[in-house]
Amino acid sequence: MTTPHDAAPVPAPGAGTPSDTPPNDRVHRVANSELDDYAAISGGTVGSKRLWMGLVENPPLSATDNHHHGDSEAGIYVVSGHPVFVYHDGTREVRLEGHPGDFFLVPPFVPHREENPDPNEPAVVVIARTTQEPIKVSVPELFRLEATDAPAPNRHRRGSAAHRNGP
């Protein structure tokens, strides 16, 4: 790549950015050491409006409660370990084991839980979601709702324990 001699110098990585550059008019780098709790890319860290990304480590022999993330889609990339993603397909409980390099999609309002059954190794994942809010709605069990529970046409809501589909 060539650069004209009269071009403005480009700061070295990690050297910061000019204070007069609008936060949504440039590429941002967030080093691992700069994570805000688990958040790497968010409205609070870099001014993102519709994307949240973070690094999550699930300790050995751990499991979350059954939950969904409201209207947020979540994309998950497995960095290390072998997390298990559990959901209900309307007939039975389904367990999907992850391996390093695998990707998962959790659609809006889908009740699920994450497990790390390994007794020694943590499971590390990168999560991207389509909302800024940390939405986590706990549910008593994994279930699938009827399409009649949809709040609007062409959209299935899966979050109300009052409309369970029993096996």
**pLDDT tens-digit map of 79-93:** 999 999 999 998 899
pLDDT category of residue 128 using cuts at 50, 70 and 90: very high
Global pTM exceeds 0.85: no
Which residue bears the tokens 């590429």?
27
Going from N- to C-terminal start, the domains of the chain cover 37-148
Of 142, 131, 132, the residue nearest 165 (C-alpha): 142
* Residues 24/57/100/140 CA torsion (nearest 10 deg): -100
What CATH number labels 37-148? 2.60.120.10
Give backbone dihedrals phi and psi of 149, rounded to 5 degrees, phi first: -85, 5
Predicted confidence (pLDDT) per residue in 35-69, tens digit: 556 788 888 888 888 888 989 999 999 999 999 99
